[in-house]
Amino acid sequence: MDEPRVPLEEELSELAGLLQTDESLETMLGHVADIAVRVIPACDAAGVTLFEHDRVTTAAASGSLVQRVDNHQYATDEGPCLESLRTGEIRRSPVLADDTRWPKFRGPTLDEGVVSCLSLPLVIGNHGTGGVLNLYSQNRSFEETDEVIGRRFMPPASVAVANARAYAKAHAVIEQLQEALQSRDVIGQAKGIVQVREHCGPDEAFERLRDLSQHRNIKLRDLAKAVVESPDDIFGG
């Protein structure tokens, strides 16, 4: 029986620590694919397919072969990845040349030199199947031993991918919020605050800000910024 090429436990530990502030979702998922190549004996190439907004995309891959083979699945709407995604079950094709389950996918994939494939669904409890880890081999068959290791790899890989996606979403929200904040003119914001606090119109609010600016001998923009950040300090609580 083949042992993992590197200790599986060590690699699984790495999965738990994937979230780092300076890495993109693609990079984080790329780590998952790279680890799969390292720990699953028959695996030459691996990729993570995500299912979002009714679309499947290859979010990370250990090499260009993965993207090409994945594209054959997406184009023909069949193959182990899509079936694994739909069923939430593992799909293994030990000898692709003899496999009759996906005839449209098989031809172009064999042309790429892929002889065997293994698709592991990424399932998180109530969250369903959010993606698939696709493993390809150009040299040897994925045997049952590979599948056994894959089964051990699946839960932490699923968690790692789910964590990475959640982190990426949080990052996107932050960018949107920062953009929204920057886009609001600081003087306009200050005028709005003055209008509410002083029960006056926009022109009066602007006059009030300008008077305060002159009285305190600070630039209007700086005063507006101070009003936005801490109005009580300017106008009293």
Partner 1 sequence: MTPEDENAEGLARLSEILVFEQPLGGTAQDVVDLARNSLGQCDGAGIQVLEDDGVGVRATTDSRSFDLDTLQDELDDGPCVESLRDGERHDLEPVTSDERWPSFAPPARRTGLVACCALPLVAHGELIGVLNLYAWPAVGFAGWDRRHCGTFAYRASNLLSSARTYDRRQVLIAHLEARLAAIPAREPE
Give least dist CB 72 to partner 1, A: 32
Judged by CB under 8 A, the chain residues 37 through 96 that form the site for partner 1 are none
Question: 115 or 205, CB closer to partner 1?
Answer: 205
19 binding partner 1? (CB under 8 A): yes
20 binding partner 1? (CB under 8 A): yes
**Piece in contact with partner 1 (CB under 8 A), picked from 15-23, 102-110, 130-138, 207-215:** 15-23
Judged by CB under 8 A, the chain residues 96 through 125 that form the site for partner 1 are 124
Structure tokens at 65: 């072969």
Give least dist CB 68 to partner 1, A: 31
Question: 6 or 177, CB closer to partner 1?
Answer: 177
Are 33 and 161 contacting, i.e. CB atoms less than 8 angstroms apart? no
Judged by CB under 8 A, the chain residues 158 through 217 that form the site for partner 1 are 159, 162-163, 166-167, 170-171, 173-174, 177-178, 180-181, 184-185, 188-189, 191-193, 195-196, 201-202, 205
Q: What is the DSSP annotation of the chain?
A: -PPPSS-HHHHHHHHHT---TT--HHHHHHHHHHHHHHHSTT-SEEEEEEEETTEEEEEEESSHHHHHHHHHHHHHT-SHHHHHHHHSS-EEES-GGG--S-HHHHHHHHHTT--EEEEEEEEEGGGEEEEEEEEEESSS---HHHHHHHHHHHHHHHHHHHHHHHHHHHHHHHHHHHHHHHHS-HHHHHHHHHHHHHT--HHHHHHHHHHHHHHHT--HHHHHHHHHH-HHHHH--
Structure tokens at 36: 């799969």
Question: 124 or 220, CB closer to partner 1?
Answer: 124
Question: 24 or 138, CB closer to partner 1?
Answer: 24
148 binding partner 1? (CB under 8 A): no
User: Which stretches of the chain bind partner 1, using CB under 8 A?
Assistant: 9, 12-21, 124, 155-156, 159, 162-163, 166-167, 170-171, 173-174, 177-178, 180-181, 184-185, 188-189, 191-193, 195-196, 201-202, 205, 228
